[in-house]
Amino acid sequence: MQVVEKSGEGLSRVWGVTVPAQDLTDRLEARIAEITPTLRIKGFRPGKVPTAHVRRLYGKALMSEVVEQTLSESTQKVLEDSKVRPAGEPDLKPETDLAEVIEGRADLAYEIAVDVMPEFEPVDPAKLSLTRPVYEPTDKEVDEALDELAKQNRTYVPRTGKAVKAKDGDMVVIDFVGRVGGVAFEGGTASDVELVLGSGQFIPGFETQLVGAKPESELTVKVTFPETYQVETLRGKDAEFEVTVKEVKAPVEAKADAALAERLGVESLEKLRELITTNLEQQYASATRFKLKRALLDQLDEKHDFPLPPKMVEAEFASIWQQVQQDKESGQLPEDDAGKSDAELQAEYRKIAERRVRLGLVLAEIGRRNNVAVTEAELANAMRQEALRYGAQAQQVFDLLRNNPNAQAQLRAPIFEDKVVDLIVENAKVKDKKVSKDDLLKEEELPAGYGG
């Protein structure tokens, strides 16, 4: 095998590789000799098939296999001998006709192009100083959360009297059939649906037209589907629903008491308060971690400046730009971006891509130097959590993830990042600062590229 370095500028490397046709032929003959004793071909005794016959039957397929294996092995050897750390999968570009190579009439010549990891010294986590905003829930907040929980779980009883009419806040039990252009559409028919008027569960305008409805009454509700409706074929369409109101129920005043705890399957009101307190603490802890991580990433971005692998930046930008285009087409582009030209947006989002790549490399290098790794147990747990999102198909999804290295890599990346962030925070100088709930939860303007 002959290897020539064609380019070594910056973080890009290009090598020319040539594998003589005779070497490929020798490997083919070895492969034929390996499989011949195992072949069962009609007209020949087991293990007695002539190699010439095997070559005639399977030569091209086996040579294709040899070429593919040679490409993989020779590429790996070039990278190892060059002592470089690839920043992604290498691009292989054939320089000879592969059909001629498979026929044994040409050498295998190809180019290897790859970006390499930049060499840089990451900041020492012990030299970082961070402020961690903290907030603890008050008794008043717990009481308010408990009252809201009682409200959400209140019961309803049938309204009685001579002139029962549904009011805002009442529950109606309805059957309905929805039509667009006079034709019933998929998902537009249901029976015994419990709908609280004013809850905003249904399409805008639907619930308000049921206010004043009587039990056992029938009416036509006319609505227009929002332009952002999840079913694309219904977006912006006018629809009519034939609704039968079967029952009207009034809400019963909710109380945060032992009966509520019992309905929720909790042993006592005191235990329910503890659960609510824990839930609030977890919510605030999550907000604290978000802001601490943001401050950390800001510092890491400020303290590092090194060349970035071009292909990594391009791949990250392409991913971001695809999402921007989708948002633009669906009318969901952020207000600040709506009036900008594509050229302006591309310039801004390329900076975001560069920041994300830079931070990813910094975190990866700190993790590498500190032997941070994602365990098989952590990965398996992530796969289970992802699979559970698909309900009845959970096992099928889990099996797919277990056999898909690319999907596993996507699940592994955020786990690795969180572990590196935890490592840095453990070693940095971190000072807790008590803040108000509003300050902790306030949405601040994010720096370019944050949250990737």
Which pLDDT band, with edges at 50, 70 and 90, does 449 fall under?
Answer: very low
Which pLDDT band, with edges at 50, 70 and 90, does 46 fall under?
Answer: confident
- What CA–CA distance (Å, rounded) separates 413 from 147? 40
Whole-angstrom CA distances from 163 to 90, 170, 173, 248, 298 are 77, 15, 17, 11, 64
CA angle (289 as vertex; 287, 294 as ends), nearest 5:
100
Dump pLDDT digits (tens) for 117-140: 999 999 999 999 999 999 999 999
- What CA–CA distance (Å, rounded) separates 361 from 292? 20
CA angle (417 as vertex; 416, 422 as ends), nearest 5:
100
| Mean pLDDT score, 396-409 | 93
Dump pLDDT digits (tens) for 405-435: 999 999 999 999 999 999 999 999 999 999 9
CB-based burial label for 446 (10 Å; 0-12, 13-18, 19+): exposed
Task: Give me the phi and psi of 404, to 5 degrees please.
Answer: -125, 95
Statement: residue 25 has pLDDT above 70: yes
Dump pLDDT digits (tens) for 148-178: 999 888 889 999 888 899 999 999 999 999 9
How is the chain split into domains, by residue range? 2-115, 155-251, 267-441
108 with 24: CB under 8 angstroms?
Answer: yes
Dump pLDDT digits (tens) for 201-240: 999 999 999 999 999 999 999 999 998 888 889 999 999 9
- DSSP notation for 109-158: EEEEEEEBPPP--PPPGGG-EEEEEE----HHHHHHHHHHHHHHT--EEE
| Mean pLDDT score, 352-378 | 95
CATH class of 155-251: alpha beta
Statement: residue 330 has pLDDT above 90: no
Q: Which helix (H) or strand (E) holds 12?
A: strand 12-19
**Which of 40-49, 183-192, 419-428 bottoms out in mean pLDDT, i.e. has the lowest?**
40-49
CATH class of 267-441: mainly alpha
444 with 133: CB under 8 angstroms?
Answer: no
Statement: residue 88 has pLDDT above 80: yes
| Mean pLDDT score, 364-381 | 95
Statement: residue 78 has pLDDT above 50: yes
Which pLDDT band, with edges at 50, 70 and 90, does 445 fall under?
Answer: low
157 with 173: CB under 8 angstroms?
Answer: no
Q: Which helix (H) or strand (E) holds 218?
A: strand 217-224
Residue 58: strand, helix, or coil: helix
Residue with tokens 């004043």: 212
- What CA–CA distance (Å, rounded) separates 221 from 213? 11
Q: What pLDDT is stored for residue 444 in this prediction?
A: 67
CB environment 80-105: b (16+ within 10 A), e (fewer): eebebebbeebeeeeebeeeebbeee
- What CA–CA distance (Å, rounded) separates 168 from 271? 33
Residues constituting the chain: 452
Find, among 158, 163, 160, the residue nearest to 173 by Cα.
Answer: 158
Which are the contacts of 309, defined by CB distance < 8 A and separation ≥ 6?
11, 87, 88, 115, 116, 117, 118, 357
Tokens representing residue 299 in the block = 């510092």
Matching fold, domains 155-251 and 267-441: no
Q: What is the dihedral of CA 201, 205, 208, 214, to 10 degrees?
A: -90
| Mean pLDDT score, 94-119 | 94
Q: What pLDDT is stored for residue 39 in this prediction?
A: 82
CA angle (171 as vertex; 169, 173 as ends), nearest 5:
155
Whole-angstrom CA distances from 97 to 4, 70, 93, 108, 444 are 20, 16, 11, 8, 57
Q: What percent of the chain has pLDDT over 90?
A: 77
Find, among 345, 351, 367, 369, the residue nearest to 414 by Cα.
Answer: 367
Q: What pLDDT is stored for residue 367 in this prediction?
A: 96
- What CA–CA distance (Å, rounded) separates 359 from 120? 13
CATH of 2-115, one of 3.40.50.970, 3.30.70.1050, 2.40.160.60, 1.20.210.10: 3.30.70.1050
Amino acid identity at 175: D
Q: What pLDDT is stored for residue 51 in this prediction?
A: 82
Average pLDDT of every residue of the chain? 92
| Mean pLDDT score, 333-347 | 88
Statement: residue 93 has pLDDT above 60: yes
Tokens representing residue 401 in the block = 């993830």
- What CA–CA distance (Å, rounded) separates 429 from 259? 48
Tokens representing residue 356 in the block = 């994300």
99 with 56: CB under 8 angstroms?
Answer: no
Q: Strand 12-19's sheet: what is its strand order?
A: 2-7, 12-19, 108-115, 91-94
Tokens representing residue 123 in the block = 């900041």
